[in-house]
Structure 1
Amino acid sequence: MSGKFEPKHKVDLDPPKDDIISLDHLSKCDGKHEGYPTYVAIKGTIFDVTGNKAYGPEGSYKVFAGRDASRALAQSSLKDEECRPDWYDLPDDQKKVLNDWYTFFSKRYNIKGKVEGAQNTGE
């Protein structure tokens, strides 16, 4: 099962960065602001999804862009109100889904940093 989350095509990723990125800056990385990349944060870690149209302004996953969408990912939800960082109160099966998403993203997208003040980074 270790290959479960492997990308179909090899992805050359940069070494992960640990830059601290403010919520204000992250909010501008939503695919709608010219000159900004498109980012999705999971458990306080920021992934660069620029170039994947699914996270762009017209994409099916646009709701995740420019924010920490941990809760929504854990719940397999596309609801705007669920796109928030808190997830500790979720049941174990949803926490597993969230961890699976984190693994999926980490094998495909460059890590650009951490959300400033993130409290949702644990297991």
Structure 2
Amino acid sequence: MDDFDPAVRRRKPDSKDTPPEVSETESEEIISPTVKGRVAPKKSKIDNEDTYSPLVDILRVITFLFLASSGLSYLISGGETFFWGMNHPPNYLRVDWWKSQLRGPLYLTPAELSAYDGTDPSKPIYLAINGTIYDVSANRRTYGPGGSYHWFAGCDASRAYVTGCFAEDRTADMRGVEEMYLPIDDPKIDKHFTKEEFEKMRAEELADALQKVHDGLDHWVKFFANSKKYNFVGYVKRPKGWPGTEPRRKLCDVAGQGRKTRSLPGKQQE
């Protein structure tokens, strides 16, 4: 007992000397105190998820779709509108065009066909050539009222395609059109041919004229048949016995202007 040194006796820790226990949150605040002028710590991912709202993303998607739709409308309409308000939309945006593709060919009388001449904006524009009907609504500026080829709308004006007489020849009756390619008979010149020569020559002239009429009309028949812009609709219904049921037309003045007399034997026609 004498050897025990009270100086080295262990002091009982005083409650004032022991740091108080702190929570984890308080510890973080002590380690990283918020100092004036210092940026506050970023929120954790959990905090961000709790405060996330999909409204911003929804607005971004709506804005993108609106701009894309406006741009597409502008391109398809050829600069007419940004909002799909086209006066004459392309075929694939028209309900009536899709209906026509599903129902098959139409058969219209000339009177029924005339209702599709473009004067009624609610109806498509039809024209016919050589008995076949096409929808030319994609080019209303040309075939609609006031257009340069409005004469062809609402009818089969096959004759006019060859003669060039748009107003006079709005008909499919091709009888006599070959006369525009036949020479004019002139007794002063024709007397230089023998009867056999004259008959043979006239037969050749007629065959050549008929071929020219066929080629002239066939050019336009193929034009519409192969067009990606104009669509097949159907056929024109004619009365039995047509065109014999109608009076024969005279050759129009414009078509007859190119006719000349025959050349003398052994001479070229001037």
TM-score band, normalised by shorter chain? 0.7 to 0.9
**Identity score, percent:** 36
Aligned to 1:9: none
Larger Rg: 2
Q: Choose which of 218, 224, 229 in structure 2 pairs with 1:99.
A: 218
Within a 5 Å distance, the mapping from 1:74-113 to structure 2 comes to 74-78=162-166, 80-91=167-178, 92=210, 93-108=212-227, 109-113=230-234
Q: Equivalent residues in 2 for 1:1-123 (5 A)?
A: 17-52=104-139, 53-78=141-166, 80-91=167-178, 92=210, 93-108=212-227, 109-117=230-238
- Cα deviation for residue 25 of structure 1 reads 2.1
Secondary structure of 1:46's aligned partner? strand
Deviation digits for residues 52-81 of structure 1, max 9, x if unmatched? 121110110001100001000122332x12
2:176 and 2:231 map into 1 onto residues whose CA distance is: 28
Question: What is the Cα deviation at residue 89 of structure 1?
Answer: 3.4
User: When the two structures are aligned, how many residues end up with a matched partner?
Assistant: 106
Instruction: Verify the 8 A CA contact 1:73 1:101 in the aligned structure 2.
Output: yes
Q: TM-score, length-normalised on structure 1?
A: 0.75
CA contact (8 A) 1:75 1:94 kept: no
Match of 2:137, SS?
A: coil
Distance 1:76 1:107 in 2: 22
Q: Normalized per residue, which structure has more helix?
A: 2
Structure showing the higher strand proportion among its residues: 1
Flag structure 2 segments of 5+ consecutive residues without an equivalent: 1-100, 179-209, 244-270
Q: Distance in 2 between matches of 1:55 and 1:72?
A: 15
SS of residue in 2 equivalent to 1:85 = coil
State the shift of 1:39 in Å: 0.9
| Structure with greater contact order relative to length (CA < 8 Å, sep ≥ 6) | 1
Query: Which runs of 5 or more residues in structure 1 are unaligned?
Result: 1-13
Distance (Å, rounded) in 2 between the aligned partners of 1:58 and 1:51: 15
Range moving further from structure 2, 59-68 or 18-27 = 18-27
User: By how many angstroms is 1:88 displaced?
Assistant: 4.1
Q: Secondary structure of the residue that 1:114 maps to in structure 2?
A: strand
For residues 65-116 of structure 1, give each alpha carbon's deviation from its aligned partner in whole angstroms, at most 9, with x where no partner exists: 00001000122332x1211011143322122111110001111121100011
Q: Deviations over 1:14-52 (max 9, x none)?
A: 69x532112222101111113211111001100110121
What is the alpha-carbon distance in structure 2 between the residues aligned to residue 103 and residue 88 of structure 1? 21
Q: Which amino acid aligns with 1:54?
A: T
User: How big is the alpha-carbon RMSD for the aligned residues of Structure 1 and Structure 2?
Assistant: 2.2
Partners in 1 of 2:219 and 2:109 — Cα distance? 25
